[in-house]
Amino acid sequence: MTKPLLDVEDLRVRFHLRTGTVEAVRGVSFQLGRERLGIVGESGSGKSQTGRAILGLTPPPGEVTAKRLAFDGIDLTTASKRTLRELRGGRISMVMQDPKYSLNPVMTIGEQIIEAYQAHAKASRSEARDKALAMLEAVKMRDPGRVFSLYPHEVSGGMGQRAMIAMMLVTDPDLLIADEPTSALDVTVSMEVLRILDELVTERGMGLIFISHDLKLVSSFCDRVLVMYAGRVVEELEAKNLREAQHPYTQGLMRCLPTLANDVRPLPTLNRDPSWAL
């Protein structure tokens, strides 16, 4: 077995609040190779905080501890700020939920991609410009030259999210963390965005962490799925074996969705067992 791209052991995220300490992530461990890993859970399960903690983006007053948190052999818990800054946006990138909030509204899309590129690669402006245009083409923008000079508010949600992906992938990262990248988009648009993401990840041999609340989507998109509940991983399984899930929470999540295929009524609801959270 080759060395994992990302090695996480006993990751914990705590928030020290006035009312006491809240542990959002309670001992998450996993290893990631150059594959597509899905992290699924409902709101409050700690899935987003896991993604943020890997990138060192935990908002204050959060505190991150881990027995091991290593990216390609680099220990992220002890790495200098400088090293972290170089990794972030360079070799590890993140795509957020809503392009409206993650693109700078007063810079054109092209400028933002160029800036992202030049922050991590020594390149002349014209080189960076070529690279940005190539990237916009890679995310299947119909007219890259035009999109290049548009401001974020001038493009649709789907185009914005594709621009965001272009910006995040322009530095050729080894690991991409996508936090609900399509939940602000319409279904047909999100399928297209996912298809582009899938192609790029496969072509470039990246590792992908796909964080989502949508079990159906994650299982059809990823190779492996971690199911999180109350800050813990309750089950880890191959995406294709999702139907054979063992944990009652995973089973419950699977069943409670209405499907076109079969009409069950009333829908089975999830009876939360307090022991799951232990």
Partner 1 sequence: MLDIQNLNVVYGTGRLRVDAVKNVSFHVESGAAYGLVGESGSGKSTVLRAICGLAPITGGRVRVDGQEVTTPRGKAFYRTVQMVFQDPYASLHPRHTVDRTLSEPLAIHGEKDAEARILQALREVGLGPSFRFRYPHQLSGGQRQRIAIARALILRPKVLLLDEPTSALDASVQAEILNLLDDLRRRLGLTYILVSHDLAVVAHLCERLLVMQHGEAVEETTADALRSGVASNPYTQALIQASRGFTRADKPSVQALAG
Which residues are at the interface with partner 1 (CB under 8 A)? 42-43, 142, 157-158, 186-192, 194-195, 198, 213-217, 219-221, 252-253, 256-261, 263, 265-270
- How far apart CA 257 and CA 19 sit, in angstroms, is 36
Distance, CA of 83 to chain centre: 21
Enumerate residues 6+ apart whose C-beta is below 8 A from 155: 109, 147, 163
Nearer to partner 1, 41 or 89 (CB): 41
State in angstroms the smallest separation of the CB of 26 from partner 1.
Answer: 19
- How far apart CA 30 and CA 228 sit, in angstroms, is 12
Nearer to partner 1, 118 or 250 (CB): 250
State in angstroms the smallest separation of the CB of 196 from partner 1.
Answer: 10
Residue by residue, DSSP assigns 191-204 as HHHHHHHHHHHHHH
- The 3-state DSSP class for residue 30 equals strand
State in angstroms the smallest separation of the CB of 258 from partner 1.
Answer: 4
- The 3-state DSSP class for residue 143 equals coil
Comparing C-alpha atoms, which of 47, 30, 31, 29 is closest to residue 39?
A: 47
Q: How many beta carbons lie within 10 A of that of residue 62, not counting itself?
A: 17
Nearer to partner 1, 122 or 265 (CB): 265
State in angstroms the smallest separation of the CB of 269 from partner 1.
Answer: 5
Alpha carbons within 13 angstroms on the beta-carbon side of residue 262 total 8
Nearer to partner 1, 257 or 277 (CB): 257
Nearer to partner 1, 62 or 252 (CB): 252
Nearer to partner 1, 56 or 252 (CB): 252
Tokens of 82: 């400088």
- The 3-state DSSP class for residue 72 equals coil
Nearer to partner 1, 54 or 226 (CB): 226
Tokens of 193: 């965005």
In this structure, are residues 131 and 90 in contact, taking their beta carbons and an 8 Å threshold? no
State in angstroms the smallest separation of the CB of 82 from partner 1.
Answer: 38
State in angstroms the smallest separation of the CB of 102 from partner 1.
Answer: 19
Residues facing residue 71 across a β-bridge:
6, 74
State in angstroms the smallest separation of the CB of 112 from partner 1.
Answer: 22
- How far apart CA 232 and CA 274 sit, in angstroms, is 13
